[in-house]
Amino acid sequence: MGKNDLWIASTAALLGLTLVTTDNDFDHLNNVFFDVRKIKPVELKVQ
């Protein structure tokens, strides 16, 4: 994990948030420190 990912993960864990991501960088933390929800970038497209 990169330094920025560590900040993101620690913030989500501290605040009890679900982490929403488009990649696999947080898979190993899923259901350990927080829930990870993966979305596809196309889901973010505004119509």
Q: How many domains does the chain have?
A: 1
Token couple for 24: 């696999």
Residues of the domain holding 31? 3-44
18 with 36: CB under 8 angstroms?
Answer: yes
> What is the value of pTM for the model shown?
0.81
Walking along the chain (47 residues) 10 residues at a time, the average pLDDT comes out as 95 97 96 96 79
Q: What are phi and psi of 21, to 5 degrees?
A: -145, 165
Q: What pLDDT shows up at residue 41?
A: 87
The rounded distance, in Å, linking the Cα atoms of 42 and 10 is 27
Q: Strand pairing of 36-38 and 19-21?
A: parallel
